[in-house]
Structure 1
Amino acid sequence: MKTVSCIVVLSALCFSAFAQDNFKCPDDFGFYPHPVSCDKYWKCDNNVAELKTCGNGLAFDASDPKYLTENCDYIHNVDCGERTQLEPPIATPHCERLYGIFADDAKCDVFWNCWNGEASRYQCSPGLAYDREARVCMWADQVPECKNEEVAGGFSCPAPGEVSNSGSFSRHAHPDDCRKYYICLEGVAREYGCPIGTVFKIGDAEGTGNCEDPEDVPGCEDYYGDLDLKSIRKSELLAGLQSSSSRAASNPAPKAGKPRPAPSSRNEPSE
């Protein structure tokens, strides 16, 4: 087996050397894709060819028809076509290669952006999870890698018919955070967040509720601590967020946030 492996490696090296010696620049200046390697390309300068290799996890983007662009991009962004060969992966903590975007092994709502082997942690908005194929944050229940206990933080929707007068969907308070709430649609729970400056107030009927001022929600009055809510409400950011509660879900809760009070006090009428 070792002899065969050595032959394969030597063949590859010989082919690379042969290709390098025989590549002819089509023009005095330009950047040209390697015939079989997606992460290699030829740089021609004054009609002299130099074989270049993209960073580990990057591939050469050969989409410029004039061959004047030198661009290495994430592999998943590049159409390699028949250029199927890649350099062996070089892994670091949370990074399968030195460059790329990779899902977390333990939490489905966390992903890592790796640049030169250094990983930056990102977390999807409440109720969302990182989809490995689409490489975007999607509803957690639509991501196969998410376990049931991870979807909507383990919250389970009421059984069909259990909540009366709720219409096609129902809203439910988050047990630990005054600003967050769940929407149940066809038995699937999705986590949302109220616009900054407001918290979720449970409605009079079961399965209902709205985002209201903290002072109108018993137990959540001090959720924002010392933040100036008047200035927040006047800001253009809040004005945009109030147009859609789904857009508001992308904003993290303030660090000064306060947990939702115990269930016994949540249904008290506001004064």
Structure 2
Amino acid sequence: MKSFACVLVISALCLNAFAQESFKCPDDFGFYPHSRSCDKYWKCDNNAAELKTCGNGLAFDASDPKFLTENCDYIHNVDCGDRAELEPPISTTHCERLYGIFPDEAKCDVFWNCWNGEASRYQCSPGLAYDREARVCMWADQVPECKNEEVAGGFTCPAAGEVSNAGSFSRHAHPDDCRKYYICLEGQAREYGCPIGTVFKIGDADGTGNCEDPEDVPGCEDYYGDLDLKSIRKSELLAGLQSSSASRATSAPKKAPRPAPASRNAPEPSN
């Protein structure tokens, strides 16, 4: 009766629905993409097809050439191709959809990971901001929608020519934290942190400085309090030696990817 009604009405909607309901399983078992929708797929079991829908904000990953994998992933991780249709968004606080990674509307260094409508808050490391396109934390001056001053704690770099001894960049002490300091590169401030056990010491020339032992930096002698720095350094040294030994024991060492600037101890530029 349903098919007969579709013929009489000659409705595109009915024809499309009929075409989808008549999906035939290519094999007895497998998971196959919907022809138009990216968040729907067909589950075939014993040659019987069942239409399934991924969670709101997820899409069906159809990259398995054997169609044996049932995998719904974040929409931005899936190549939908011509499967452009999606279910309408279901939103909750901080979540545009029930699943996904979304920026904070008020703070550019904050983003939210949403799972079934529950939002978990994440904040980029100091000096970084969340890039909505790349979906990673990047230097704030590289994120168009972010004002660098917002994540630099109000610190602004000296105007061009004010620091006479600076090369391509200059270093500046953090006003409140002995371990932190800023690097100014082309007028943009980026926050760094000294290795544990050290603090930033302002250099003799403007715009210079290095990480030194706290006892050598006036005003920062008690930065680490009662922390046993010698034990910490010994542990780090032993961990480094063990890591080095493990690397030498590996017959075919793998190349490590270049680390993203998501750490407060990111490598500095060189003059």
Shared fold by TM > 0.5?
yes
Cα distance between partner residues in 2 of 1:141 and 1:122: 19
With 54-63 and 160-169 compared, the bigger mean Cα shift is at 160-169
Match of 1:79 in 2: 79
With 134-143 and 195-204 compared, the bigger mean Cα shift is at 195-204
Cα distance between partner residues in 1 of 2:192 and 2:26: 56
Judge conservation of contact 1:141–1:151 (CA < 8 Å) in 2: no
Cα distance between partner residues in 1 of 2:49 and 2:206: 72
- CA change 1:207–1:12 in 2 (3 A) is farther
Judge conservation of contact 2:140–2:147 (CA < 8 Å) in 1: no
Cα distance between partner residues in 2 of 1:211 and 1:250: 11
Match of 1:180 in 2: 180
Cα distance between partner residues in 2 of 1:135 and 1:18: 39
What is the DSSP-based 3-state SS (H/G/I as helix, E as strand, rest coil) of the residue aligned with 2:111? strand
Displacement, 1:236? 3.5
Judge conservation of contact 1:194–1:248 (CA < 8 Å) in 2: no
Cα distance between partner residues in 2 of 1:226 and 1:13: 73
Match of 2:205 in 1: 205
- CA change 1:67–1:58 in 2 (3 A) is same
Cα distance between partner residues in 2 of 1:66 and 1:44: 13
CA RMSD of aligned residues (A): 2.3
What is the DSSP-based 3-state SS (H/G/I as helix, E as strand, rest coil) of the residue aligned with 1:112? strand
- CA change 1:248–1:139 in 2 (3 A) is closer
Match of 2:152 in 1: 152
Judge conservation of contact 1:20–1:51 (CA < 8 Å) in 2: no
With 174-183 and 13-22 compared, the bigger mean Cα shift is at 13-22
- Map of 1:44-193 to 2, 5 A cutoff? 44-193=44-193
Cα distance between partner residues in 1 of 2:210 and 2:262: 15
Displacement, 1:19? 3.8
Judge conservation of contact 2:59–2:73 (CA < 8 Å) in 1: yes
Match of 1:31 in 2: 31
Cα distance between partner residues in 1 of 2:265 and 2:118: 25
Displacement, 1:223? 2.1
With 212-221 and 75-84 compared, the bigger mean Cα shift is at 212-221
Deviations 1:2-32 (A, max 9, x none): xxxxxxxxx7974674244200000001000
Judge conservation of contact 2:195–2:265 (CA < 8 Å) in 1: no
Cα distance between partner residues in 2 of 1:153 and 1:16: 56
Q: Which amino acid aligns with 2:213?
A: D
Match of 2:264 in 1: 249
Displacement, 1:154? 2.5
Judge conservation of contact 1:96–1:102 (CA < 8 Å) in 2: yes
What is the DSSP-based 3-state SS (H/G/I as helix, E as strand, rest coil) of the residue aligned with 1:129? strand
Match of 1:233 in 2: 233
Size of the aligned set, in residue pairs, is 237
Deviations 1:137-157 (A, max 9, x none): 111011111125314222211
Deviations 1:107-140 (A, max 9, x none): 1111111111111111111111100001111110
Amino-acid identity (%): 87
Q: Which runs of 5+ in 2 are unaligned?
A: 1-10, 242-258, 267-271
Judge conservation of contact 2:124–2:262 (CA < 8 Å) in 1: no
With 184-193 and 94-103 compared, the bigger mean Cα shift is at 184-193
Q: Which amino acid aligns with 2:156?
A: S
What is the DSSP-based 3-state SS (H/G/I as helix, E as strand, rest coil) of the residue aligned with 2:189? strand
Q: Which runs of 5+ in 1 are unaligned?
A: 1-10, 252-271
